[in-house]
Amino acid sequence: NEGNDTLVGGTGNDTLTGGTGKDTFRFSAGDGRDTITDFDARAGEILDIRGYANVTALISENGGTRIVLGTNDSIFLQGVDKATLTPANFLFNGAVPKELNGMQVGPTPVPGAINGNDSANTLNGTSGNDKIYGFGGNDVIDGKAGADEMYGGTGNDVYWVDNAGDRVIELAGQGHDTIHSTRDWVLSANVEDLYLRTAANTRG
């Protein structure tokens, strides 16, 4: 209908039509394989996928774009070229940007961040307070000096921490991750292994 609507997919394989206006389409894990008949990326319509940890793939299919969100969940955008989608079309509930087809789905790193890609990267920080994003792949991330924020993304990532202000951010299901610490450290959420590399005490 007319106006800026919010449409909720819900469970089952649904077909959604927003009508005129700048609409938001909301989906959660377990919603199934849904179709949107009139999604307008250029008008700034939004896919609210905060109910998912990540986007698996963007696939051109039958004149549209399929957004794969899990084994049994996806959104098909009829008549939409995936090249027209931008990060502004997504609301994403992840700390880690996900790069797909050259597009970052999710929070965009701040200017000056140190960014990897979907390969296995070795990423080193500077003497300042850095934000480091590994994206996909089995990354090695060392913030160096300063209080750094390190986001490994998917893959089996290795972190080196040496500052009380360092932060390691991982989401559930993103791999088997390891922290090497040169100081007292509490194991971060969704990180599996902690190794102490100093004589000081540690808490795991």
For the stretch 93-107, pLDDT in tens is 655 555 565 565 655
Is pTM beyond 0.75? Reply is no
pLDDT of residue 110: 46
pLDDT surpasses 70 at 148: yes
Taking residues 156-177, report their average pLDDT.
Answer: 90
Q: 109: pLDDT confidence band, cut at 50, 70 and 90?
A: low
Contact (CB, 8 A) for 186 and 179? no
- 204: pLDDT confidence band, cut at 50, 70 and 90? low
Strand partners, 57: 68
DSSP string, 61-115: ETTEEEEE-SSS-EEEETT--GGG--GGGEE---SS-EEETTEEESSPPPTT-EE
* CA distance from start to end of the chain: 54
pLDDT classification of 79: cutoffs 50, 70, 90: very high
The answer, yes or no, to whether residue 111 has pLDDT greater than 70, is: no
- pLDDT at site 83: 84
Indicate the average pLDDT of the chain.
84
